[in-house]
Amino acid sequence: MKDKLYLMIPGPTPVPPAVTAAMSRPIIGHRSAEFAALIERVNEKLKKVFQTKNDVFVLASSGTGGMEAAVANVVNPGDKVITLNTGKFGERFGELARKYGAEVDEIKFVWGSSIDLQVVEEKLKADPTIKAVFATHNETSTGVVNDIKGLGNLVDQHRAVLVVDAISSMGGMDIRTDEWKVDIMVSGSQKAMMLPPGLAFVSVSPKAWNVIEQNKSPKYYFDLLKARKSLGKNNTPYTSPVSLYYGLEAALDMILDEGLENVFERHRLLAKATRAAVMGLGLELLPPLEYASDTVTAVKCPENVDVNNLRRTLLEKYRVMVAGGQAELKGKIFRIAHMGYASKADVLLTIGALEMALNECGYKAELGAGVREAQLVFLGERD
């Protein structure tokens, strides 16, 4: 029964059978007319999920490749940029920008809290030469969702372009790329998009293209001007991962068939139930409720419980895999994902297993109490 695993980590996430089936189709040439038609269809469908009228580029890389593409195409050496660090992935933008020679003003917020727009506003007003602001929509490491709508309205009043990492939220949460005035939106395949790892998605606004066209940073694989030229011919600069493209179209079809609003509502409900359940067991969420993500819930591990032991118990005894904390949160939190191909039953089984594992690791969780809280949410008996 080793391959019977309930994968509740924030990526990679379970891949639906329809996507796996699509990926099993015979390989075709990546320069064929058939593949060009697939690229064109996928672009149109990605635009719907991204809620943008701009093209969405598909890169053969992990999500970090998409982040690097954004940085490499925007940042010239010496440019002043702001990176907003609300967790490990916000921090990554700072690392990337420094690699590309930017003068980085990295604003670190306490991990578990969200960005403070006022701080950003002051910085932007104080220095009109700031070239770009880098932010995380859904901080996978802390389960925090940041106010990108507010940030977009703010950055829009300045010269700076806004680059947002929505890797762990796109396809699960309502992300209005154009309405929120996000210039470069980055996502990845292996989270709420229900695909295996291997693809990054990047949308680019006209404002961002103006910056990109002036960019001199060294880049080759992640050159978005090349990508734009190719996409104009329904092509890609380098070899595309054909099978993942097949899967991508199948996953996009699933999302669009379910309906974006239904997908978002499903994620909202699963997150609400998960939060109610862990709180019902006396556990504390890492982020305040108002900034809690709809795709991943970060929970403070009780002091007397060893997180690794808890995760090992969940995995070995119940075949449920949840994530631990990263970097400074290592050992302090665990994270339950409810993104992509996730259902009410997944929440029930995860909480049921968690209740047992907590007891086995020294924390008195009332058996069934967390499940009951999740059930009450599903039954609509909790506002």
What is the distance between the alpha carbons of residues 336 and 347, in angstroms, rounded to a whole number? 9
The interface mask with a copy of itself, positions 12-51, x = CB under 8 A, is: ----xxx-----x---------------------------
Applying CB under 8 A, the site for a copy of itself has a residue count of: 39
Q: How far is CA 352 from CA 2, 8, 346, 357, in A?
A: 20, 13, 10, 9
Task: Report the residue number, 100 or 341, with the smaller CB distance to a copy of itself.
Answer: 341
Q: Which residue in the set 343, 362, 364, 382 belongs to the binding site for a copy of itself (CB under 8 A)?
A: 343
What is the distance between the alpha carbons of residues 184 and 178, in angstroms, rounded to a whole number? 10
**Residues 6 or more apart whose Cβ sits within 8 Å of residue 350:** 6, 8, 274, 320, 322, 336
Category of 319 on φ-ψ map: left (φ > 0), alpha (ψ -120 to 50) or beta? left
Task: Report the residue number, 279 or 348, with the smaller CB distance to a copy of itself.
Answer: 348
Residue with tokens 């996409």: 231
Q: Which residue in the set 283, 296, 353, 361 belongs to the binding site for a copy of itself (CB under 8 A)?
A: 353
Q: How far is the CB of 357 from a copy of itself (least distance, A)?
A: 10
Residue with tokens 């469908």: 45
Q: How far is the CB of 360 from a copy of itself (least distance, A)?
A: 7
What is the distance between the alpha carbons of residues 320 and 353, in angstroms, rounded to a whole number? 7
Task: Report the residue number, 4 or 216, with the smaller CB distance to a copy of itself.
Answer: 4
Task: Report the residue number, 39 or 371, with the smaller CB distance to a copy of itself.
Answer: 371
Q: How far is the CB of 235 from a copy of itself (least distance, A)?
A: 31
What is the distance between the alpha carbons of residues 141 and 326, in angstroms, rounded to a whole number? 6
Q: Does 294 bind a copy of itself (CB under 8 A)?
A: no
Beta bridge partners of 330: none
Q: How far is the CB of 246 from a copy of itself (least distance, A)?
A: 15
What is the distance between the alpha carbons of residues 85 and 91, in angstroms, rounded to a whole number? 5
Q: How far is the CB of 170 from a copy of itself (least distance, A)?
A: 18
Task: Report the residue number, 64 or 359, with the smaller CB distance to a copy of itself.
Answer: 359
Contact yes or no for 81/259 (Cβ under 8 A): no
Q: How far is the CB of 138 from a copy of itself (least distance, A)?
A: 21
Instruction: Restricting to residues 313-342, name those near a copy of itself by CB under 8 A.
Output: 317-320, 341
Q: How far is the CB of 275 from a copy of itself (least distance, A)?
A: 17
Mapping DSSP to helix (H, G, I), strand (E, B) and coil, where does residue 105 land?
strand
Give how far the C-alpha of residue 249 lies from the chain's centroid of Cα atoms, to the nearest Å. 19
What is the distance between the alpha carbons of residues 135 and 166, in angstroms, rounded to a whole number? 9
Mapping DSSP to helix (H, G, I), strand (E, B) and coil, where does residue 241 land?
coil
Q: How far is the CB of 346 from a copy of itself (least distance, A)?
A: 7
Q: Does 352 bind a copy of itself (CB under 8 A)?
A: yes
Q: Does 79 bind a copy of itself (CB under 8 A)?
A: no
Q: Which residue in the set 266, 272, 275, 311 belongs to the binding site for a copy of itself (CB under 8 A)?
A: 266
At CA 347, angle to CA 342 and CA 352, rounded to 5? 145
Instruction: Report the interface residues with a copy of itself, using CB under 8 A.
Output: 1, 3-4, 6, 16-18, 24, 254, 258, 266, 317-320, 341, 343-346, 348-349, 352-353, 355-356, 359-360, 367-372, 374-376, 378-379
